[in-house]
Amino acid sequence: MATSTVENYLKHILLLSEGGEELVPMGALAEALAVVPGTVTTMVKSLADSGHVEHRPRQGVRLSAEGRRVALNVLRKHRLVETFLVNVLKMDWATVHAEAEQLEHAISDEVLDRLDALLGHPTTDPHGDPIPSRQGKIDSQVYATLATCVVEKGLRVVRITEQSAEFLQFADLNGLQPGASLRVTERNLAAGLVSVKKTTGRPLILSLAAAGKILVQPAR
């Protein structure tokens, strides 16, 4: 069995590689895992030995098929647990990430399946992040963000790509949850600001950085 350290390395490689194909630089991985780069080199070599990744020295890491399988399973656990914590235990959107970070390594596939059924086989978690299927399929649709979308068209929030409690708290407070309807009224690249009008509530101004974390699609 993979230890939770191994599971974490694989999960973060997956997350950093847009689906598991690209080479992830060692430095980026070290940053994501909050360890020094030397540690990553050591661990990645052992991950390569166990067949979970391919290591290109001085270039980066890539998941093997097996590594991808494990990583997707961990991600599935993470996101289903988050969904459970929010939908069933009514926990706060913003805090469930840290909880799930622990539980994802402790939950068995059996419990996972039952949780999945209890929740009605959701396809996204409370932040709109896609939940990999049991078979390891994951929605990889590319969405526009509030920083890149067309102006003055009706939009629907599909996902918030940021897991820090502060940002999620802020988003929640301002009605930026998946499903929310809104439109961008103005975008000023020079000032780095985006103005947003929600169907309900007062207008909102976001930095481009913040706007880039809100994924949207055209309202149907």
* Residue 19 interacts with which of DNA, a second copy, none, CB < 5 to 8 Å by class: none
For 185, list phi and psi in degrees, rounded to 5.
Answer: -90, -25
Per-residue x/- marks for a second copy, 107-136, CB under 8 A? xx-xx--xx--x------------------
Q: Going by C-beta distance under 8 Å and a sequence separation of 6 or more, which residues neighbour residue 114? A: none
185 binds DNA (CB under 7 A): no
H or E segment and range at residue 3: none
* Residue 46 interacts with which of DNA, a second copy, none, CB < 5 to 8 Å by class: DNA
- In angstroms, the Cα distances linking 209 to 126, 155, 167, 193 are 21, 19, 11, 9
The footprint of a second copy on residues 90-109 (CB under 8 A) is 90-91, 95, 99, 102-103, 105-108
* H-assigned helices in 50-192: 65-87, 96-103, 109-118, 165-173
42 binds DNA (CB under 7 A): yes
Q: Going by C-beta distance under 8 Å and a sequence separation of 6 or more, which residues neighbour residue 93? A: 86, 126, 127, 168, 169, 172, 177
Contact segment (CB under 8 A) with a second copy among 9-17, 43-51, 84-92, 136-144 equals: 84-92
Reading the block at residue 181, the tokens are 């309807």
* Residue 90 interacts with which of a second copy, DNA, none, CB < 5 to 8 Å by class: a second copy
85 binds a second copy (CB under 8 A): yes
Q: How far apart are CA 171 and CA 180, in angstroms?
A: 11
41 binds DNA (CB under 7 A): yes
The footprint of DNA on residues 53-112 (CB under 7 A) is 55, 57-60
Contact segment (CB under 7 A) with DNA among 35-43, 79-87, 102-110, 142-150 equals: 35-43
User: Which CB, 30 or 85, lies closer to a second copy?
Assistant: 85
Q: How far apart are CA 123 and CA 132, in angstroms?
A: 8
